[in-house]
Amino acid sequence: MKKIGSFRKQVYKLCQKVPKGKVTTYGEIAAAMGVGPLGGRAVGNALNKNPYAPVVPCHRVVKSTGVIGGFAHGTSAKEELLKAEGLPIADHKIEDLKKYLICLKGCL
Could you give the residue numbers annotated as active site?
A: 58
Backbone φ and ψ of 73, nearest 5°: -90, -10
Q: Is 70 in the site for DNA (CB under 7 A)?
A: yes
Identified binder of DNA from the candidate list 12, 23, 26, 79, rule CB under 7 A: 26
42 binds DNA (CB under 7 A): yes
82 binds DNA (CB under 7 A): no
Using N-to-C axis directions, what is the helix angle for 6-17 and 40-49, rounded to 10°? 80
Q: Which stretch binds DNA (CB under 7 A): 45-53, 79-87, 93-101?
A: 45-53
Q: DSSP of 12-78, one letter per residue?
A: HHHHHHSPTT-BEEHHHHHHHHTS-TTTHHHHHHHHHH-TTTTTS-GGGEE-TTSB----TT-HHHH
Query: Which residue in the set 14, 23, 32, 43 belongs to the binding site for DNA (CB under 7 A)?
Result: 43
Among 20, 48, 105, 107, binds DNA (CB under 7 A): 48
Which residues lie near DNA (CB under 7 A)? 4-5, 7-8, 25-27, 35-50, 58-59, 61, 63-65, 69-72
